[in-house]
Amino acid sequence: MYFQGFEIILDLIQEIEENLKNNPGEQEKENLINSLLNLRNIMDQCVKYWLYFEEKVNELQKKYNFDLPDVLPEGFLQDIEFRNERREEIPGLWESFYSEKSDTSMKKSLLKLESEQGIDSFRKGLGFWDLAMLEEAIKEFEKVIKLEPNFIFGHFCLGLAYSQQGLKNQALSELRLVKALSRDPHLNAFVHNAIGNIYAGEKQYEEALSEFALSVEADPSFYIGYFNMGAIYFNLRRYRESIEAFEKVKAAIPCDWEVCYCLGRAYTLTGEFIKALQNFKKALSLNPLEPKILFEMGVLYDLLGDKKNAAYCFNSINKEVNN
């Protein structure tokens, strides 16, 4: 019952999302956005109290010389989802490697923490990470692996945090260690994908492509790997292979506007204008306020000699910008 207020907030977010899906009028949309802003302000206050609570607990333990038993709530780790720095928050695109398909004994070895101090630091690290306080998160994850060097998942979290902080060499060192030790295919998919993102950020596209290919080899349902493969093939001007990768993602997630948009661009560059237009129209139906879709459609209509529709697309962009 302690979390009833949070459950209400999550229900309200769901309700706001449902209302936004119905393409509300400008005034209604503004009201929904203001409601979301108010909810965020409430959660910001909760975060402030959480930080104060953790500091106060540590202060009391030191002051009165006692250790507070610290265990993670049942199911705590299973709720974690990691955001990919190149491709974020795509509904249904990937499932956590904590899924029921994962081997139970393997899960336990990945997630096993022996010390209360390690659990405490890991909890804090995850909290700081969710708040995008990467320096603080890194310090806590470093404490965890120093205390418990065999905690594979701690090395994985530290590697991702290093990567997001721009510490590429440290990130690669941790992620390669996880890759060498892990036998969990779902975790391996995440690891190869994370390494691929580092290479892609350095424009080492061939190395990135190899890692993304290994991510989907480890877990064929890891569609973010296919998406990133498509993006790399596109950057390498290998448009036919780019289309093949993006089509795999679209087959699994047909209502992702960005996948349709990327397919539209790739089909345009292979000269398959009708397929390109079909994908751009699908993308626009899913995200009618995205100007870059309208721009690509305008260019495509112009290539097809349809000046009327090209002008309509470009004029629509100007209206969105002016609004």
pLDDT in tens, 46-85: 666 666 676 677 677 777 777 655 444 544 444 444 333 3
Q: Is residue 20 part of a domain?
A: no
Q: Does 119 fall in a domain?
A: no
Mean pLDDT lowest for which of 83-97, 223-237, 266-280? 83-97
Among residues 227, 161, 159, the alpha carbon closest in space to that of 191 is found at: 159
Indicate whether 87 belongs to any domain.
no
Range of the domain at 167: 131-182
Residue 47 lies in a domain: no
21 class by beta-carbon count within 10 Å (0-12 exposed, 13-18 middle, 19+ buried): exposed
Q: Do 260 and 246 share a structural domain? A: no
What pLDDT sits at residue 19?
83
The answer, yes or no, to whether residue 99 has pLDDT greater than 60, is no
216 and 262, same domain (yes or no): no
pLDDT in tens, 14-55: 888 888 888 888 888 888 888 888 777 777 666 666 666 766
User: How distant is the alpha carbon of residue 146 from its chain centre?
Assistant: 27
Distance from C-alpha of 114 to C-alpha of 73, rounded to nearest angstrom: 15
Residue 153 lies in a domain: yes
Give me the number of domains the chain comprises: 3
Q: How many residues does the chain have?
A: 323
Is residue 41 assigned to a domain?
no
Same domain, 247 and 260: no
Share the mean pLDDT of the chain: 80
Q: If you search the block for the tokens 């991702």, which residue do you land on?
A: 160
Rounded Cα distance, 49 and 55, in Å: 10
Q: Residue 302 falls within a domain, yes or no? A: yes
Domain harbouring 227, CATH code? 1.25.40.10
